[in-house]
Amino acid sequence: MKATVVDLKYKMKNVLEALKKREKVTLLYHGKVKGFIIPADGKKTVKVVTHPFFKMADKKTKSAEQQMNELRGSRFNAL
């Protein structure tokens, strides 16, 4: 994960979640790498349901055709 100094102030929850997932956090200042936050030794605690792949099977999502029709909007249906 990459985080700016502002992210450390306003989005610390996201930084802590990344550390909980055993991700290394890269600190940026004016777009340049200034340092790293490395997770402490410990057991990796990642739930399977938080993996992006498993969210694909969620029944609440729309099909690809429905999503494309929404993105195209009226200009596609105008023909």
Which sequence spans correspond to the domains of the chain? 2-77
Instruction: State pLDDT tens for residues 24-79.
Output: 999 999 989 999 998 887 666 667 666 666 666 566 677 778 777 777 776 655 65
pLDDT of residue 20: 85
Catalogue the E-assigned strands of the chain: 2-4, 25-29, 32-37
Is-above-0.75 flag for pTM?
no
* Whether pLDDT at 13 is above 80: yes
Q: In terms of C-beta density within 10 A (0-12 exposed, 13-18 middle, 19 or more buried), how is residue 7 classed? A: middle
